[in-house]
Amino acid sequence: MMSTDPLWYKDAVFYEIPVKAYADGNGDGIGDFQGLIGKLDYLEWLGVDCIWLLPFYPSPLRDDGYDVADFLTVAEQYGTFQDVKRLLDEAHRRGIRVIVDLVLNHTSDRHAWFQESRQSPQSSKRGFYVWSETDRKYEKARIIFIDTEKSNWTWDPEAKAFYWHRFFSHQPDLNYANPEVQQAMLDTMTFWLDQGLDGFRCDAVPYLFEREGTICENLPETHDYLKNIRRRIDASYQGRILLAEANQWPTDVRPYFGDGDEFHMAFHFPLMPRLYMGVRSETRDPIIDMFTHTPEIPPNCQWCLFLRNHDELTLEMCSGEERDYMYYTYARDPSMRRNIGIGRRLAPLLDNDRRKIELLHSLVFTLPGSPIIYYGDEIGMGDNIKLKDRDGVRTPMQWTMDRNAGFSGCDPAQLYLPVVADAVYGYQAVNVESQKEAPHSLLQWMKRMISVRKRFPAFGRGTITFLRPANGKVLAYLRRYDDVVLLLVHNLAESSQAVELDLTAFAGTTPMEVLGEARFPTVTERSYVLTLAPYGYYWLDLTLTPSDGAYGIEQMVL
Ligand code: GLC
Ligand code: CA
């Protein structure tokens, strides 16, 4: 059932879930643990190895739960502590691990620490936050939520001082220079680990410490603290993982892996927009370039590859020119933009083109790293750009064509957000139930790809070598692990393409297309010609000899 390998995360398929959006068990219009537990069979069927739950702690929900008012309990609307335990048991029984968000950098201004802190300079919690008499400190730090914030400082009339915040002004940053804060957050972490969780997706880690004269990101003191957290895990919680949300250039993310003694995993932020650029501009360059700039990571570490998540499709790690290109091609309507990014889901971004959706998934399933799927993208759910902030990509999961998409039995007016109901992406057209019935649906395709991926450890653990054929619209690479060599070929273009690959090193082998188990012509000393349909892709196993590839008992004449 559940793999006992301590490096399980290197091969795992992850799946991101906002509890609120997934399934409503008690019919109040808000997703909850009870509802989620009822969907674990579905996740097991799909082949998911680990789910990541977005924050479910008490919160005024002004940042959808990332504004945490109490780290040590469960928000009432999602259930009880017992429900969390039951979820863990039920998930583990199905071989599914569970990681949750650990919001280290800040709290809600409703958190008791902040309430106490603001009261007076003598408060025992004063030092939990970053107070200042002036708003002219740390001026080199950029503003992240540019749609709503003008400064990283906000005046608090009660405290009669400014407080520091890297995100919303209602989310004051914790003061990591204070050892009491360091301890309190370590205790928060161990509290949840003691409940049996499998680890954390650590929110906004670059911003923990501030220092004058710097951009207040990725500081050495931040890394020291994170290494401290890791030591705690290694000492008492083997097999649990830390996954970093550090939206930075690969060279700046690299230190978050340390010498294999900081994070186990980190999202590969800059790769993501380049996958979209590659397919839109029909060239492999942005993708290969990004790997040229991706440093080697320690053997016990892993990248986490994604196409979409609950936030805007961030363009922070793009040059001005690349950003313009992305806006121009993917968000021409200004109401699709959010902060420095695009507030849309995968399927609408790709014009609901099944071929492009498959192609991009094929890339995140086969490039170095572990893939993560954003809930609903496995059925090609749509978005609602009219909703505020990032709510447009956080609408109820579409289970069936029944009322409220089968998400909840409540009066539709009671839903936490309306279900998507347009003609193309609406729940009558796009839902789990009907895609389960249809053998060639996107959902069935995803299930099949996940299961094939699992047969080859090379995807999670192998080396990568890019081939550079003359046809620049084709992205081809080898993944090698132990004796197995896989060749992945992707046509980024809207038209059919032919490509000549230099496979002379494999002369004599008979490539096997592993998705359909079809034999391809044997490799010779000459260049190997492949033709690809528009947005077509092949997963070829190069480790077979011609006789391995034979069907039945017939003797092959060579
Ligand atoms: C992370 C979360 C995002 C949240 C922000 C502030 O970037 O992914 O949703 O708004 O942190 O907590
Ligand atoms: Ca509910």
pLDDT tens profile 69-90: 999 999 999 999 999 999 999 9
In which band, very low, low, confident or very high, does the pLDDT at 392 lie, cut at 50, 70 and 90? very high
What are the catalytic residues?
Answer: 203, 245
Residues 176 and 225: their CA atoms lie apart, in Å, by 9
Please report the pLDDT score of residue 202 as a whole number: 98
Rounded distance from Cα 294 to ligand 2 centre (Å): 42
Instruction: Give the full edge-to-edge strand order of the sheet including 161-164.
Output: 131-132, 161-164, 153-156
Please report the pLDDT score of residue 548 as a whole number: 58
Whether the per-residue pLDDT at 475 is higher than 70: the answer is yes
Summarize pLDDT for 142-152 with one digit per residue, the tens. 999 999 999 99
Which residue(s) pair with 199 in the sheet? 241
Ligand 1, atom 7: closest residue by C-alpha: 204
In which band, very low, low, confident or very high, does the pLDDT at 364 lie, cut at 50, 70 and 90? very high
**Domain span(s) for CATH 3.20.20.80 in the chain:** 8-105+177-269+370-454
Mean pLDDT of 523-538: 98
Rounded distance from Cα 298 to ligand 1 centre (Å): 27
Mutate to test the pocket of ligand 1, among 311, 312, 340 (most ligand atoms within 8 A of CB): 311
Summarize pLDDT for 289-348 with one digit per residue, the tens. 999 999 999 999 999 999 999 999 999 999 999 999 999 999 999 999 999 999 999 999
CATH topology of domain 8-105+177-269+370-454: TIM Barrel (3.20.20)
Ligand 1, atom 4: closest residue by C-alpha: 66
What is 208-243 written as a DSSP string?
Answer: S---TTS-SSS-HHHHHHHHHHHHHHHHH-TT-EEE
Mean pLDDT of 128-136: 98
Task: Pick the closest to residue 371 from 95, 101, 48 (CA basis).
Answer: 48
Ligand 1, atom 9: closest residue by C-alpha: 311
| Contact assessment for residue 315 and residue 326, using Cβ atoms and an 8 Å cutoff | yes
Please report the pLDDT score of residue 2 as a whole number: 85
Q: Of 2.60.40.1180, 3.40.1190.20, 3.30.420.10, 3.40.250.10, which CATH number belongs to 462-556?
A: 2.60.40.1180
Please report the pLDDT score of residue 3 as a whole number: 85
Please report the pLDDT score of residue 544 as a whole number: 78
Ion ligand 2: residue ranges with CB closer than 5 A: 24, 26, 28, 30, 32
Classify domain 112-164 at the CATH superfamily level.
Oligo-1,6-glucosidase; Domain 2 (3.90.400.10)
Nearest atom within ligand 1 for CA of residue 247: 7
The ligand that comes nearest to the alpha carbon of residue 390 is 1
Summarize pLDDT for 42-69 with one digit per residue, the tens. 999 999 999 999 999 999 999 999 999 9
Residues 243 and 99: their CA atoms lie apart, in Å, by 9
**Domain span(s) for CATH 2.60.40.1180 in the chain:** 462-556
Rounded distance from Cα 192 to ligand 1 centre (Å): 20
Ligand 1, atom 12: closest residue by C-alpha: 66
Whether the per-residue pLDDT at 283 is higher than 90: the answer is yes
Nearest atom within ligand 1 for CA of residue 310: 9
Please report the pLDDT score of residue 322 as a whole number: 97
Instruction: Say what percent of the chain tops pLDDT 70.
Output: 97
**Domain span(s) for CATH 3.90.400.10 in the chain:** 112-164
How many DSSP H helices and E strands does the chain contain? 16, 21
Is this prediction's pTM over 0.85? yes
Whether the per-residue pLDDT at 552 is higher than 70: the answer is no
Mutate to test the pocket of ligand 1, among 54, 66, 68 (most ligand atoms within 8 A of CB): 66
In which band, very low, low, confident or very high, does the pLDDT at 545 lie, cut at 50, 70 and 90? low
Whether the per-residue pLDDT at 372 is higher than 70: the answer is yes
Ligand 1, atom 2: closest residue by C-alpha: 203
Whether the per-residue pLDDT at 556 is higher than 60: the answer is no
3-class DSSP state of 379: helix
Task: Pick the closest to residue 7 from 49, 53, 40 (CA basis).
Answer: 49
Rounded distance from Cα 145 to ligand 1 centre (Å): 10
Rounded distance from Cα 516 to ligand 1 centre (Å): 40
Distance between alpha carbon 113 and the CA centroid of its chain, in Å? 30
Mutate to test the pocket of ligand 1, among 102, 167, 208, 389 (most ligand atoms within 8 A of CB): 167
Nearest atom within ligand 1 for CA of residue 309: 8
The ligand that comes nearest to the alpha carbon of residue 393 is 1
Instruction: Say what percent of the chain tops pLDDT 90.
Output: 97
Residues 71 and 105: their CA atoms lie apart, in Å, by 12
Ligand 1, residues at Cβ distance < 6 Å: 63, 66, 103, 167, 203-204, 245, 310-311
Which residue(s) pair with 490 in the sheet? 475, 537
Residue 530 token pair: 């492949």
Ligand 1, atom 8: closest residue by C-alpha: 311
Please report the pLDDT score of residue 555 as a whole number: 58
Whether the per-residue pLDDT at 517 is higher than 80: the answer is yes
Nearest atom within ligand 1 for CA of residue 167: 6
In which band, very low, low, confident or very high, does the pLDDT at 7 lie, cut at 50, 70 and 90? very high
Nearest atom within ligand 1 for CA of residue 103: 12
Mutate to test the pocket of ligand 1, among 62, 63, 143, 205 (most ligand atoms within 8 A of CB): 63
Rounded distance from Cα 411 to ligand 2 centre (Å): 12
Whether the per-residue pLDDT at 551 is higher than 90: the answer is no
In which band, very low, low, confident or very high, does the pLDDT at 550 lie, cut at 50, 70 and 90? low
Mean pLDDT of 530-542: 98
Tokens 């994170």 belong to 226
Q: Mean pLDDT across the chain, nearest whole number?
A: 96
Residues 353 and 349: their CA atoms lie apart, in Å, by 9
Residues 377 and 308: their CA atoms lie apart, in Å, by 8
Rounded distance from Cα 21 to ligand 2 centre (Å): 10
Summarize pLDDT for 427-462 with one digit per residue, the tens. 999 999 999 999 999 999 999 999 999 999 999 999
Residues 314 and 38: their CA atoms lie apart, in Å, by 32
Rounded distance from Cα 40 to ligand 2 centre (Å): 16
Whether the per-residue pLDDT at 265 is higher than 80: the answer is yes
| Contact assessment for residue 202 and residue 153, using Cβ atoms and an 8 Å cutoff | no
Residue 110 token pair: 């409703």
